[in-house]
Amino acid sequence: MAQASGKSAGKSFFGKFGVHLAVLVFVVIWTVPTLGILVSSLRDKDQIIASGWWNSFASSTQTEAGRLPPPENQVEKDGRFVIEGNIFGDDPPRTISAFGTRAAAPTQYAAGETADLGDGVTLQLNEDGTFVLSSPVALEGSRGQRVYFASSAPPRFTTENYETVLFSEGIGRSFINSLTVTVPATVIPIMIAAFAAYALAWMRFPGRALIIATIIGLLVVPLQMALIPLLQLYNGVGLFFGVPSKTYLGIWLAHTGFGLPFAIYLLRSYMAGLPRELMESARIDGASDFEIFLKIVLPLSFPVLASFAIFQFLWVWNDLLVAMVFLGSGANQLVLTGKLNALLGSRGGDWEILTTSAFVTIIVPLLVFFSLQRYFVRGLLAGSVKGG
Minimum distance from residue 202 beta carbon to another protein (Å): 13
Give whichever of 203 and 249 is closer to another protein, judged by the CB atom.
203
Give whichever of 150 and 305 is closer to another protein, judged by the CB atom.
305
The candidate with the shortest Cα–Cα distance to 191, out of 97, 288, 293, is: 293
Give the C-alpha separation, 359 to 33, whole Å.
11
Site for another protein in 288-327 (CB under 8 A): 291, 295-296, 299-300
Phi first, then psi, for residue 351 (nearest 5°) are -65, -30
DSSP string, 59-93: PEEEEEEEEPPPGGG-EEETTEEEEEEETTTTSPP
Strand partners, 157: 43
Q: Decide: is 206 part of the binding site for another protein (CB under 8 A).
A: no
Minimum distance from residue 194 beta carbon to another protein (Å): 16
- How many residues line the site for another protein (CB under 8 A)? 16
Give whichever of 39 and 297 is closer to another protein, judged by the CB atom.
297
Angle between helices 248-272 and 171-202 (to 10 degrees): 40
Amino acid at 374: R
Give whichever of 302 and 370 is closer to another protein, judged by the CB atom.
302
Amino acid at 275: P
Amino acid at 234: Y
Give whichever of 251 and 297 is closer to another protein, judged by the CB atom.
297
Question: Do 28 and 104 contact (CB within 8 A), yes or no?
Answer: no
SS3 call for 157: strand
| Burial environment of residue 214 by CB neighbours within 10 A (0 to 12, 13 to 18, 19 or more) | exposed
Q: Decide: is 203 part of the binding site for another protein (CB under 8 A).
A: no
| Part of the chain binding another protein (CB under 8 A), chosen from 16-24, 231-239, 279-287, 310-318 | 279-287
Strand partners, 116: 122
SS3 call for 127: coil
| Part of the chain binding another protein (CB under 8 A), chosen from 61-69, 127-135, 271-279, 379-387 | 271-279
Give whichever of 83 and 296 is closer to another protein, judged by the CB atom.
296
Q: Decide: is 133 part of the binding site for another protein (CB under 8 A).
A: no
Full strand arrangement of the beta sheet holding 146-153? 60-67, 146-153, 95-100, 109-110
Q: Decide: is 284 part of the binding site for another protein (CB under 8 A).
A: yes
Minimum distance from residue 280 beta carbon to another protein (Å): 5
| Part of the chain binding another protein (CB under 8 A), chosen from 15-23, 25-33, 106-114, 273-281 | 273-281
Site for another protein in 157-176 (CB under 8 A): none
Q: Decide: is 201 part of the binding site for another protein (CB under 8 A).
A: no
Give whichever of 116 and 291 is closer to another protein, judged by the CB atom.
291
Phi first, then psi, for residue 387 (nearest 5°) are 75, 0
Minimum distance from residue 286 beta carbon to another protein (Å): 3
Q: Decide: is 209 part of the binding site for another protein (CB under 8 A).
A: no
Give whichever of 34 and 281 is closer to another protein, judged by the CB atom.
281
Minimum distance from residue 211 beta carbon to another protein (Å): 20
Give whichever of 31 and 281 is closer to another protein, judged by the CB atom.
281
Give whichever of 86 and 281 is closer to another protein, judged by the CB atom.
281
**Given 278, 324, 372, 381, the residue binding another protein (CB under 8 A):** 278
Q: Decide: is 275 part of the binding site for another protein (CB under 8 A).
A: yes
Give the C-alpha separation, 200 to 43, whole Å.
54
**Given 45, 156, 283, 378, the residue binding another protein (CB under 8 A):** 283
Give whichever of 294 and 381 is closer to another protein, judged by the CB atom.
294
DSSP string, 222-269: -HHHHHHHHHHHHHHHHHHHT--SS-HHHHHHHHHHHHHHHHHHHHHH
Minimum distance from residue 276 beta carbon to another protein (Å): 9
Phi first, then psi, for residue 128 (nearest 5°) are -85, 5
**Given 222, 286, 345, 349, the residue binding another protein (CB under 8 A):** 286
CA distances to 200, 218, 243, 388 from 381, in Å: 20, 21, 42, 6
CA distances to 175, 184, 223, 321 from 172, in Å: 5, 19, 29, 21
Q: Decide: is 281 part of the binding site for another protein (CB under 8 A).
A: yes
Q: Which residues bind another protein (CB under 8 A)?
A: 275, 277-278, 280-287, 291, 295-296, 299-300
